[in-house]
Every structure is written in C-alpha cells, then in structure tokens.
Amino acid sequence: MKQLGVSIYPSKSNIEDDKEYLTLASKLGFTRIFTSLLEIEGNADEMINKYKKIIEYGNSLGMETVLDINPRLFEQLGVSYNDLGFFKELGAAGVRLDLGFTGAEEARMTKNPYGLNIEVNMSSGTKYIDNIMSYQPNTEKLYASHNFYPQKYSGISQQHFEQTTKMFNKYDIQTAAFVTSQHGNLGPWPVQKGLCTLESHRKLSIHTQVTHFRLMGTIDDLLIGNAYAAKNELQAMSDAYLSTHPTLEVNLIDDATETERKIILQEEHQYRGDRSAYMVRSSLMRTKYKDAEIPPNNTAPINKGDILICNNHFGQYKGEAQIALQDMKNDGDRNVVGHLKEESIFLLDFIKPWSSFLFINEISL
C-alpha cells in the first residue's frame, strides 16, 4: 500500500503549528509522520513529553509516526536495542535507524514484542540489507527508507538511487524516499537548502518530484522532508501520488480549439507499445474523434516536449495525440497544441510503453 507522509521537528517548532499541519495533511490523505530524535538537548524529560504529545495527536488522526534514531541516542536515553519499550510508550509506530548496527541487531529488533516497525537506511550503497536478511528478520516489520540531504549538491544521483533501491526491492521490503517542499524551511539541522533524496529534485515542484517517483515505480511511500509544506503543495502531492493515473502538466496554446482541449485534457491516454524514438503516441483518440474537424492549427517546427495532435491532413491518424521526444520537422499534419511543463520534460524518459497517463493544466504553486 502506498502512503504519503510529512515531517515535523518538535525540538524546533511550536506544538500548535505541528497540530495544524498534521490536521491538514491528514485531510488530504497523508498517513505517515517522520520526525527526528537524533539528539536531545536541554531538559530531556520536557522534550520527550513534547514528542509524546504530538505523536499522540498524530495517532488520533490515524497517522503513524516513525522516529529517526541512532546508536548514540540509545546510550543517551539508556535504551537497549533488546527492549524498545521506550519508543512504544512514546506512541511511535516504528523507529528508523539512521546509523545501523551489524545486521544481527536489526534482525532481532524486528521481532520486538511491541510490534514496532524497524526502518533501515537505504542510501549507503553497501550490502547492508543482505547482511540483515542473512539473520532471518521478521520481514513484516522490516521497512527501509532513503536519506534526505539538506546540503545543496549532496543528494544522491539517479544512478546511485537506482542501484541502492534495487538491493531492497528484491526482498519486497516496504520502501520510502523524501521529496522537498519549496516553501518549508524547517529541518533537523541548521543547514537546510531543501530536504530531498535525489539531488535532481531540489528545485523542482512537488508535483514533478512525486510524479518522477511514481513513474519509476520502485518506492512505496513518499514523505516531505522539510516543514511546513504549503497547502497547495500537500494537495498537489496527494493528487499526483494517489490518483488513478500519473499526470503530466502542460501549457496549451491560447488558440487551441475546443476539440483539441478535450482530446488533451479530458481523455485518458495510453502510450503505444510499439514505441518510436521520436514521440509518445496515444492512438485511442483516433476512433473517438474520427468524425471531428481538426483543421491545421499552429503547424510550427516541433520541439522536444511539445504536445501534438494529428490534424485533418493526416488521414486515418487524425485525432492521435503525441508528445515529441525530440525536435522534428513539421510537415503540416501535426498541430502543436501545447508544451509539457519545462521542468518535467525529463519525465518522458520514465514513461513506460502501454502505461496510461493524464494531462493536466500546469499547477500554480
């Protein structure tokens, strides 16, 4: 089951602001909370009580909280990995091990009597998960998530992401990764230039980040790393990840006809399996619009990312919708009716043949 999540940082925030944020996120379909307990400064009892209150509030909304911890925190709190009762008393659904143990400890922790999920770090690029699996963990309680990276240029590359994620996917472990809000400015550390897993996502809209993960299809849960995301970002993330079909943002030209707008914005599209190096073809429209008038309109040279509709001059192909995968000459039989949102053109590399998708007007965030 795919889940969406938000992050809060009680050691740096006001509990009422956190509650307001969680309430809004819950209404939009978010069911996970990530928070960091990597270090506790000041009055430990007071801070732990603050965490407990906000976790309990999240639980009341049906949201599960995972606490990010490391071995040093175990020492600070006097907690042993052999007894995780402390985290159960806080109301947490699980703990995330920012730094791992030897593999044997993680496997043992998945069999804790409190039913806590044990989430491990996916980003290291070592054989860490193979080692854990060799100790026969309870895989129903074993989860995994990538890191987020507050320092600009420090997020992981696409290649590293694919390599490390593959190591976990082969065991069918529930996975998670982080996207970043362009409005949030709160994280666990003083340095914070966004909190994303992939460096390429750092300046992208949340809709584009989420759609990228959705098209890759290798991550189950997505969480916003920084707080607080704007309401329209939460809505865009919910729509992008929980909708029936992936959605691609487009800008249509002003003089696109009513028929052209209907073909692009009101129909479900499917990428033909016999794919071309030049275009994504959505051919089902040809039957539905075979009797419609689609006169030549804006038959300009074609650029990568252009949205095309075959016009009256194209015989049996009339009505077919296409996305240009590269620049092409236009012989006058294709109307250029719009263009993909510029930052999302790279998503074309991740659309798979026979997959379905929808076009939507570009979201204003």
Q: What residue spans define the domains of the chain?
A: 4-243, 248-361
Those residues whose C-beta lies under 8 Å from the C-beta of residue 14, and which sit 6 or more positions away, are none
Q: Which two tokens stand for residue 320?
A: 């077919």
Tens of each residue's pLDDT in the chain, 365 residues:
789 999 999 988 999 999 999 999 999 999 999 998 866 666 778 888 999 999 999 999 999 999 998 877 777 778 888 899 999 999 999 999 988 788 999 999 999 999 999 999 999 988 999 999 999 999 999 999 999 999 999 999 999 999 999 999 999 999 999 999 999 999 988 878 999 999 999 999 999 999 999 999 999 999 999 999 999 999 999 999 999 999 999 999 999 999 999 999 999 999 999 999 999 999 999 999 999 999 999 999 999 999 999 999 999 999 999 999 999 999 999 999 999 999 999 999 999 999 999 999 999 77
Q: Which CATH number fits domain 248-361: 2.30.330.10, 2.40.100.10, 2.40.110.10, 3.40.50.720?
A: 2.40.100.10
| Residue corresponding to tokens 């929980």 | 242
CA–CA distance, 236 with 252 (Å, rounded to integer): 20
Q: Which two tokens stand for residue 253?
A: 């030209």
Paired with 32 in beta bridges are 5, 64
CATH architecture under which domain 4-243 falls = Alpha-Beta Barrel (3.20)
What is the SS3 string spanning the chain?
A: CCCEEEEECCCCCCHHHHHHHHHHHHHCCCCEEEEECCCCCCCHHHHHHHHHHHHHHHHHCCCEEEEEECHHHHHHHCCECCECHHHHHHCCCEEEECCCCCCHHHHHHCCCCCCCEEEEECCCCCCHHHHHHHCCCCHHHEEEECCCECCCCCCECHHHHHHHHHHHHCCCCEEEEEECCCCCCECCCCCCCCCECEHHHCCCCHHHHHHHHHHHCCCCEEEECCECCCHHHHHHHHHHHHCCCCEEEEEECCCCCHHHHHHHHCCCEECCCCCCCCEEEECCHHHHCCCCCCCCCCCCCECCCEEEEECHHHHHHCCCEEEECCCECCCCCEEEEEEECHHHHHHHHHCCCCCEEEEEECCCC
CA–CA distance, 164 with 179 (Å, rounded to integer): 17
